[in-house]
Structure 1
Amino acid sequence: MLERFLFEGSIQFSYISKLSGGEKRRLYLLSILMEAPNVLLLDEPTNDLDIETLTILEDYIDNFNGAVIIVSHDRYFLDRVINKVFSFEGNSEILQLVGNYSDYREYKQEALQEVVVEKVSVEKKNKNIEKNKIDKPIKFTFKEQKEFEEIDEKIEEKELQLEEIQQQVNNSGSNFMLLQELLATEGKLKEELEFLMDRWTYLNEINEQIQEGKNNN
């Protein structure tokens, strides 16, 4: 193992204090690997290793029988040693992808392209819908046309019924049972009148748009 990590000959008997910074890091890495772990957790391993040590580490990982978990921003190192990517995408989502970093980048680019194509398709569809709305003349349905023609008369009739009930309420005197029935009828008539007024507003708005369309043509 010492020779594999470039500690050859007499250097194997040197004091640690005599080693260079790169040699000390290489020795520290070697001391961990000599414990024969079955899992390696490497956090930004390329930050403090020289090229020689990094090459040795890559070769060691290639022949390592256990699991290796690497956190790194070094795409070239990841392309060299990994075969599965766990990418934290945000919103508690973790993407798992078999392959190296380049495979992951290609997957993300294809996914982004699909999103762009889908967005363009949706925008085009929405534009067509809006165009159809503009091109298609606004008009009443048969039922709405009939309702529009009769709505004023129905409102007037409902107002007369409500006025009559209110007069009966005023004349009910101390007849509590009759008063209860009249008040219930009054409440129902008010609800019906309110519904008719809402429909009147809606139908007249459509009628105004129809008239504007005719004037523009």
Structure 2
Amino acid sequence: MRVIDYVKERGEYVRSEDGSLVSASKMLERFLFPSSMQYTPIGKLSGGEKRRLYLLGVLMNDVNVLLLDEPTNDLDIQTLQILEDYIEHFNGPVIAVSHDRYFLDRISDKLFVFEGNGVIKDSVGGYSDYVAYRKEAAKEMAAPAQEAKAKADTWKKTTATKLKMSYNEMKEFENIESDIEKLEAGLEQIEEDMAKEASNYSKLGELMAEKERQEAALEEKMARWEYLSELDEKIKNQ
């Protein structure tokens, strides 16, 4: 079977966001199958091209709801970008399960977050909005503790107790900017490797897992840098 016949078998047209009809040929072009490829036998396509064609075949059924289960695990980066663009203009609800925070930021306007121990919370916006909300909530919960800490700091000042860094904190502060630069460079390298290994799903999974570990380490280092910088400023000003 040829590429165009496979798509037309599922639908000659699909309805766009504005209600107009888009032909199978135009949809193929949108999914990176130019007219020169549309009469190619499917057997001659690469693995990534076959997955892209299968995805288009599903969408050509003129679906009105999309259910996506970890789509970033099965699609190469190029196909994923096409899917994200399609979802952005899709005239219907999209329900996706994903651990990929960047994908969720691109497509979602509401999250159901599984926080563990049977707790599910809904959050308006994408993943970054949820993280910002969690940080704000944590600040509000920490306010009483911060107030108590402020009182303790006032008491320390009145008793002439001077702030100072421990030896380990001084060594950490000396090296922390270099550590952050190394982590950021490592993340850039991982993203380059992910682009190169876009069709190697086993390797891509390993790289995504390593990327999450590196991001967590970077977030922790940034928090330590902020704390130590504030402490250094207080020591200089006391």
Normalising by structure 1, what TM-score? 0.53
Query: Equivalent residue for 2:142?
Result: 116
Higher relative contact order (CA 8 A, sep 6+): 2
Q: CA offsets per residue over residues 66-119 of structure 1, 9 Å max, x none? A: 110111121111111111111012343321111111000111111222223345
Query: Equivalent residue for 2:209?
Result: none
Q: Which runs of 5+ in 1 are unaligned?
A: 125-217
Q: Aligned to 1:96, which of 122, 138, 152?
A: 122
Structure with greater Cα Rg:
1
* CA-CA distance at 1:17 after TM superposition: 1.5
Question: What is the rounded CA distance, in whole Å, between the counterparts of 1:2 and 1:63 in structure 2?
Answer: 16
Percent identical pairs in the alignment equals 64
Question: What is the rounded CA distance, in whole Å, between the counterparts of 2:132 and 2:112 in structure 1?
Answer: 15
Q: Aligned to 1:78, which of 96, 101, 104?
A: 104
Q: Which runs of 5+ in 2 are unaligned?
A: 1-26, 151-238
Question: What is the rounded CA distance, in whole Å, between the counterparts of 1:108 and 1:115 in structure 2?
Answer: 10
Q: How many residues align?
A: 125
Any residues of structure 2 matched to 1:59-208 within 5 Å, and which?
A: 59-118=85-144
Which letter maps to 1:104? Y
* CA-CA distance at 1:13 after TM superposition: 1.4
Question: What is the rounded CA distance, in whole Å, between the counterparts of 1:23 and 1:103 in structure 2?
Answer: 34
Q: CA offsets per residue over residues 177-216 of structure 1, 9 Å max, x none? A: xxxxxxxxxxxxxxxxxxxxxxxxxxxxxxxxxxxxxxxx
1:12 maps to 2:38? yes
What RMSD in Å do the two structures reach over aligned CA positions? 2.1
State the SS of the aligned residue for 1:8: coil
Query: Equivalent residue for 2:185?
Result: none
1:37 maps to 2:63? yes
Runs of 4+ in 1 over 3 A off after TM superposition: 118-124
Normalising by structure 2, what TM-score? 0.48
